[in-house]
Amino acid sequence: MAIKKRYSNPLGRGLDALISTEAVRPQGSSTISEISIEQIEANPNQPRREFDEEALNELANSIREIGIIQPITLRQVDDNRFQIIAGERRWRASQIAGLRAIPAYIRTIKDENVMEMALVENIQREDLNAIEIALAYEHLLTNTGMTQEKVSERVGKSRTAISNYLRLLKLPAQVQMALQNKEIDMGHARALLAIDSPSLQVKLFKEIQKNGYSVRKVEEMVQKLKNGEDIVSGKKKIASNQQMPEEFSTLKQHLSDFFKTKVQMTCSANGKGKISIPFANEEELVRIMSMFDKLKEQ
């Protein structure tokens, strides 16, 4: 599935509110790319010198199963050479896991004096994807000391919109790269953000890619998972991993014993859920309904 859209004037009233665009040329940027492990080197100024071997192996096992969740951050130091800014532990674990390449944010900074203006200009470009815009916002916030409110004023976009873009950077690396390549829509990504578990986000993302689900379909699936329900995608079952509090589990068992059938119960973190009483045939349905009638008479 490939979803390709162009968005007209995605960031409001333009750079003219800040400066004349004619004199500004981009001097810095941020992108996310797959970088060969062999092209990456550790930062010699990294304060951490020792890495727990057992913890690295555990992380490597996780990477083998679901991939890198959060991209590492690099800066280019030479042609085809990159130095780690953040994420050396993920880099080391990826080598143990046997990865040949790793997703990374690439920071390119040539002149910090014009960085703010260049980034704002870049944001205004209509061909930027959602991740590039999110990274530009993040850079404005972290490298210029601007607040979200100030960024909002500079680019003519609401704080809510800026927050929504920044939240995309919390998604697993696989999802970010698919969004950057326009393989999924921003609506899909925002739906996945409603799930707290990164591994669950990755599982559902793979089903989106495989089956071409619409944004609405994904939102419905996410809501079921949030309610503690398992979902079925094709022939694959995705478990919600939602653990009910002990008292709810006890109540579920009590209801199952009372109705003499396996009662299903789902419950979200805020206590919202539903109870389902299955029946095998019409005779069993009549039996269950008669039990409800008796309860009403009491």
Tokens 């859920």, residue? 273
Q: In angstroms, rounded to a whole number, what is the distance separating the alpha carbons of residues 67 and 61?
A: 9
**Which residue type is seen at 285?**
L
* Residue of 53, 54, 88, 297 with catalytic role: 88
Tokens 């020792």, residue? 50
Instruction: Quote the pTM value.
Output: 0.54
Per-residue pLDDT, 244: 57
| Contacts of residue 268, Cβ cutoff 8 Å, sequence gap at least 6 | 226, 227, 228, 242
Per-residue pLDDT, 4: 39
Q: HEC states along 104-165?
A: EEEEEECCHHHHHHHHHHHHHCCCCCHHHHHHHHHHHHHHCCCCHHHHHHHHCCCHHHHHHH
Per-residue pLDDT, 152: 84
Per-residue pLDDT, 166: 92
Answer yes or no: are the C-beta atoms of 224 and 265 closer than 8 Å. Answer: no
Quick check: is 132 catalytic? no
Residue 90 belongs to what H/E stretch? helix 88-97
Task: From first to last of the 298 residues of the chain, give the pLDDT tens digit.
Answer: 444 333 333 333 333 333 222 333 333 446 788 999 999 998 776 656 667 788 888 899 989 888 888 888 888 888 888 988 888 889 999 999 999 999 998 876 544 434 455 556 556 555 578 888 888 888 778 877 788 888 888 777 888 988 999 999 999 999 999 988 889 989 999 999 988 888 889 989 999 998 999 999 999 988 888 877 778 887 777 877 655 566 777 787 888 888 888 877 766 555 666 787 878 788 888 888 888 887 777 6
Q: Nearest 5 degrees, angle CA 266-CA 270-CA 273?
A: 25
